[in-house]
Chains A and B, each alone.
Chain A
Amino acid sequence: MNSEVAFQRASDAFPVDTLFDLAPCGYVITTPDGLLVRANQPFCRITGYDEHELIDRRRFVDLLSVGGQLYHETHFLPMLQMHGTAREIALDLVGRDGSRLPVLVNSVLHRADDGTPIAVHTAVFEASHRRQYERELLAAKQQAEASEAKLRSLARTLQESLMPPALPVIPDLRVAAVYHPAGEGHDVGGDLYDVFEVAANDWCVLIGDVCGKGVDAGIVSALARHTLRAVAMSSALPSYALHTLNEILLRHESTRFCTVAVLRLRREDGMWRIVTSIGGHPPPVVVGPDDVSPLGVPGPLVGILASPTFVDTERVLRPGETVVLYTDGVTEARAPDGVFYGEDRFHRTVIEHGGPASALPRHLVDDVLRFQAGPARDDIAVLAVTAALPD
């Protein structure tokens, strides 16, 4: 059969007036108020009603489940009244025998030339399988959201374990810290810091950064924090703590390494003496009125070399002087034009602020966040310690 004949046959076999009942979907016409005026045979078949039970007797909304009725009245109809159409609305029809029939519904509101609504034409598509599939997708989505929320909560818990929940109150020393996570803060960063008492008038202050992000990095950060805490108890030398951490990281299954600055503060004869040792970390600075002076001697990254050398240096922290410890999230923050925040800007900001420690970290972190104008690309941790002035 050639195509012309086929065309003619398909066309002639279905006069236009038969199309309503032969439509491959339920099709109803209602008054603007929803009273059924016409219903095609597929619609009657889907719902199980005889035509005469529907026409002039039932409204479309009467055939919906109660939840569907609520949706119809609060969403579907307003949409139809104002847009003139409502498409792909998922509803459940309730058949004559009480059975539920998941359907997708498209409606068009026809108006007279003067705008008066005349009738609503509604096509109803059986969608049991599709709706079942959608329900499964929906359940999967809800499960995924729940999992994500749980993951975030775990990440938060892990992150919080890398820092003390509150800083200790130390006689004659003011301590403050701010941590700002990268991005939206849903991942675990590698930054860590700690302030803890080793003995009376003997404190350890440390800051560090494990390479990378995520749970793996967080685990190594936790390992580093607790190692440094433990070692401090048996040795007064920060370099010893770094050597021990280096050894432990080398033997640890993780290939991650870190940077750490460890300060030991001892109060002797009314003076705070600081011993500093640095492994790959930006040196903490003592803030003076016009300049800053770095603490310690730069040493290698921790967890890379088999026999690194970490050096201890000692200095007195005079009353009123402030030490600032920070991670490279400060100096490597970048403005939208790509410029780094950099050490100079960092130095200027802390010099301008001066002391005491209590407000300095917040001030510095806010300045960095303003500078980079947008979510932080890296974690930022800042810790400041001020030796109290004598009363």
Chain B
Amino acid sequence: MATSLAPALPPPLRESGQREVFCGLTSIVWLHRRMPDAFFLVVGSRTCAHLIQSAAGVMIFAEPRFGTAILGERDLAGLADANEELDRLVAQLLERRPEIRTLFLVGSCPSEVIKLDLAKAAERLNRQHGGQVRVLNYSGSGIETTFTQGEDGALQALIPLMPRSEQRQLLIVGTLADAVEDRLIGLFQKLGIERVVSLPPRRSTELPAVGPGTQLLLAQPFLSGTARALIDRGAELIRAPYPFGVEGSFAWMAAAAAAFAVPPERVAELLDPLVERGRRALAPLRETLAGRRLFLLPDSQLEIPLARFLSRECGMELVEVGTPYLDRQLMAEELALLPDGTQLSEGQHVDNQLARVREARPDLVVCGMGLANPLEAEGMATKWSIELVFSPIHGIDQAADLAELFARPLRRRAALSFA
């Protein structure tokens, strides 16, 4: 049930053409860190393996908890063999990594195109290795998912395993940095919400329960499928902006508090000092950012909440806010907060969009790593978006850190002088 855009927003620009975004496999990079007892096995090609290692940016500090089962010519020739081969690799992997408790088989573009049924494979492998490990599957393929959507797929794979409970609880959904999560849970508990659980959990086997007593609070805006599946399990979605910036984080916490009938005075009592402190921390960054023009290219799906934060709390002017896809339902509260006239764009034709960037000459462009240096070379400051999914940026206390990510490129440009 699509809510229409806030009337003050012009219709989004819809484009199709070359998209310059990562595929859903990329989310493995943060998911495997969140659940150290899980292993992500991409069933794909050498390209998939190369993508993850390149997107991770740095290589090999440890034997990673993700890998790729690379399809070879023989696997393409006969799917029966491919299944046998996969079983062999999984057995080899589990022997090598006996500490693994959950194994995600991650579908890729080639495995989808050859219709390798990973759900069946997971069933089969569960029979073979049941007791030692749980085998799940989801797709991170680039023909179906962009970048952060991979997390949506991975979480949906976990949902059927979540026990049912009617217990009244707050369920925070979306990967958060551990420290940020602890902080937010601590605050919710101070508000009197006793039972706060997270998906994904820190241990893949310690899945939270879900049921009619569950109030669902999304920490990330790219979890549409997960939200729907949890609602199907009886959870009730708390409608709120996302916890970026002082304002968004306050509204996010306040919405959860309201769902648990925490009196507003209680919320104000706890959060007002935080808000005041958060605003104080933001003030110097606002000096750098205010009045500067911002262009967000579609990439992480965080673009709309970030645009809201950077315009409303940091005073930036929004030139264009790109998003890989627009989920009007999950973005409704965010869209309502965008300044009148904000131009959204959905999908991408990268060359046309770059032409608009060049014409607008914004002060700051948020984009993927493939585009950052070329735009810098053309004289525009950039912020690469992948950092946003690795950094602790959620919550009132992190608002200044989040603003700093955008202020730094501008400050750096101003700090440099040659000749």
Q: Do A and B actually bind?
A: no
